[in-house]
Amino acid sequence: MNVEIDPSAGFCWGVVRTIDIAEEQLSGDDKLYSLGSIIHNPMEVERLAKSGLEVVSRTDMERLRGQRVLIRAHGEPPSTYRLAQQYGVILVDATCPVVTKVQERIRKFYDQGYQIVIFGKKDHAEVIGLVGHTNNEAVVIKSVDEIANVDLRRKTVLFSQTTMDKQTFYEIARILKERTGEFVVGTFEESAIDFHAKDTICGQVSGRDKKLREFAARQDLVVFVAGRNSSNGKVLFAVCREANPRSYLVESEQELQREWFEGAGSVGVSGATSTPQWLMERVKQAVEQMFPVPVEA
């Protein structure tokens, strides 16, 4: 059986940067805390915990006076920075620069009086941070069905969580543009609703779709490695399974099942942008150990 790791899989550069910052901070003697899981991959979180990284929440800030607290790649709302200042917490800001740029753009449009619509998952850490830059007034939608929550009478700008799928974003943008146009025609004579759509999906995430489809299609079977809470992992696994229905999602090699591989001559191992290379290597080795190459006499 041939087992191949997807060459396009693994950490995006924003996650690499955050992990590098964490490891650099952990090289000293002082304690380091992470405001929430540093990434949505339990195996990597466990590895960093062994190096001394402790996960905390906003409710812990008061007891962390004078301590260093890492802001993960997802970013945080402005209220977190105010809370840190209030309690004398030293923030180590590892927000992904792509996310920081989205925050800045959202704030700019919000200050100009626009209704901010965000295509994303309401409870996702990144979205909570983005919404915080609108005084928690942004409208968050995750599907075409939720477009009804948007006030079509207001000038509006549509943004996206950086790890959402591009196809749905553009479908939402198309429908919003059509509906605001219809609203104008039916209500005013010669005025127009000001509507903008800003594609803020990470290029490294969206660019993986094509490569993943090609990789998955040429395998008999694909093992996709990702944390089950990873938004990016869910999106990419859906892409993988569409290209190859014989695809399986695992968080670690311990979840592999021998019956999955029956009749397979080639196996691909891929993962999310929050999946470490070492974990995909470990899954590859586990598959190879399940089906060792016979020794010739």
Q: How many CB atoms lie within 10 A of CB 92?
A: 18
Q: How far apart are CA 5 and CA 12, in angstroms?
A: 16
Can 126 be counted among the known catalytic residues?
yes
Within 10 angstroms of residue 88's Cβ, the number of other Cβ atoms is 12
SS3 277: helix
> DSSP 3-state assignment of 256?
coil
CA distance 26 to 39: 16
| φ, ψ for residue 34, nearest 5 deg | -115, 130
Phi and psi at residue 249, to the nearest 5°:
-100, 130
Please state, in angstroms and rounded to a whole number, the distance separating the CA atoms of residues 71 and 69: 7
Sheet holding 195-197, edge to edge: 139-141, 115-119, 156-160, 195-197
Q: Which of 76, 126, 251, 253 is catalytic?
A: 126
* Side chain identity at residue 115, one-letter code: Q
- Rounded to whole angstroms, the Cα distance separating 77 from 240 reads 33
Catalytic residues: 126
